Amino acid sequence: LIQVSQYTFAMCSYREKKSEPQELMQLEGYTVDYTAPHTGLQGGRMFFNAVKEGDTVIFASDDEQDRILWVQAMYRATGQSYKPIPASQAQKMNPKGGNVNTDISPLCKLAFFFFYTDRGQKHGMDEFISANPCKFDHASLFRLLQRQTLDHRLNDSYSCLGWFSPGQVFVLDEYCARYGVRGCHRHLCYLNELIEHSENGSVIDPTLLHYSFAFCASHVHGNRPDGIGTVSVEEKERFEEIKDRLSSLLENQISHFRYCFPFGRPEGALKATLSLLERVLMKDIATPIPAEEVKKVVRKCLEKAALINYTRLTEYAKIEETMNQATPARKLEEVLHLAELCIEVLQQNEEHHSEAFAWWPELLAEHAEKFLSLYSVDMDSALEAQPQDSWDSFPLFQLLNNALRNDTFLCNGKFHKHLQEIFVPMVIRYIDLMESSIAQSIHRGLEQESWQPVKSITNSLPNVALPKVPSLPLNLPQIPSFTTPTWMTSLYDSTNGSATSEDLFWKLDALQMFVFDLHWPEPEFAHHLEQRLKLMATDMIEACVKRTRIAFELKLQKTNKSTDLRIPASLCTMFNVLVDAKKQTAKLCILDGGQE
Q: Given this model, what pLDDT does residue 491 score?
A: 42
Check the CA dihedral 79-82-87-90 and report its sign.
positive
Helices (H), 157-285: 166-179, 183-199, 206-220, 233-255, 257-260, 269-281
Q: Given this model, what pLDDT does residue 8 score?
A: 87
DSSP string for residues in 326-341: --HHHHHHHHHHHHHH
Strand 9-13 and strand 55-61: the pairing is: unpaired
Q: Given this model, what pLDDT does residue 562 score?
A: 64
**Mean of per-residue pLDDT scores for the chain:** 82
| Paired residues of 60 in beta bridges | 47
342 vs 346: CA distance, rounded Å: 6
pLDDT band per the 50, 70, 90 thresholds, residue 91: low
- pLDDT over 60 (residue 493): no
**Any residues with CB less than 8 A from the CB of 132 and at least 6 apart, and which?**
none
Alpha-carbon torsion angle 473, 474, 476, 478, nearest 10: -60
Rounded mean pLDDT of 490-512? 73
Rounded mean pLDDT of 142-146? 96
Q: How many CB atoms lie within 10 A of CB 596?
A: 9
**Any residues with CB less than 8 A from the CB of 276 and at least 6 apart, and which?**
206, 209, 210, 213, 246, 250
Q: Which tops the pLDDT comparison, 111 or 387?
A: 387
Q: Given this model, what pLDDT does residue 500 score?
A: 78
270 vs 364: CA distance, rounded Å: 14
- pLDDT over 50 (residue 424): yes
Question: pLDDT digit string (tens) for 183-214?
Answer: 999 999 999 999 999 999 999 999 999 999 99
Q: Given this model, what pLDDT does residue 548 score?
A: 80
**Any residues with CB less than 8 A from the CB of 577 and at least 6 apart, and which?**
497, 498, 501, 544, 545, 548
510 vs 167: CA distance, rounded Å: 74
- Whether the model pTM is above 0.85: no
- pLDDT over 90 (residue 347): yes
Q: Given this model, what pLDDT does residue 130 score?
A: 74
Q: Given this model, what pLDDT does residue 80 score?
A: 86
Share of the chain above pLDDT 90, in %: 45
- pLDDT over 60 (residue 456): no
133 vs 130: CA distance, rounded Å: 9
Helices (H), 328-413: 328-348, 361-384, 394-404
- pLDDT over 80 (residue 300): yes
Question: pLDDT digit string (tens) for 223-273?
Answer: 665 556 678 889 999 999 999 999 999 999 999 999 999 999 899 999 999
Rounded mean pLDDT of 107-134? 57
Q: Given this model, what pLDDT does residue 136 score?
A: 85
Question: pLDDT digit string (tens) for 11-29?
Answer: 998 888 888 888 888 998 8
pLDDT band per the 50, 70, 90 thresholds, residue 458: very low
Question: pLDDT digit string (tens) for 539-593?
Answer: 888 888 888 888 778 877 777 666 666 777 777 877 887 888 888 888 888 776 5
Q: Which tops the pLDDT comparison, 551 or 419?
A: 419
Distances (CA, A) of 36 to 173, 200, 431, 536, 584: 40, 58, 112, 119, 118
Rounded mean pLDDT of 60-89? 87
Least confident residue range of 108-122, 246-260, 522-536, 541-555: 108-122
Question: pLDDT digit string (tens) for 378-387?
Answer: 999 999 999 9
Distances (CA, A) of 204 to 164, 249, 535, 568: 12, 11, 65, 88
142 vs 189: CA distance, rounded Å: 9
Least confident residue range of 176-185, 363-372, 451-460: 451-460
Q: Given this model, what pLDDT does residue 394 score?
A: 93
Q: Given this model, what pLDDT does residue 596 score?
A: 53
Question: pLDDT digit string (tens) for 27-45?
Answer: 988 999 999 888 878 878 8
Q: Which tops the pLDDT comparison, 267 or 93?
A: 267
Strand 46-52 and strand 55-61: the pairing is: antiparallel
Catalogue all structural domains in the chain, each as residue range(s) with its CATH number.
24-133 (2.30.29), 135-289 (no CATH), 309-415 (no CATH), 426-588 (no CATH)
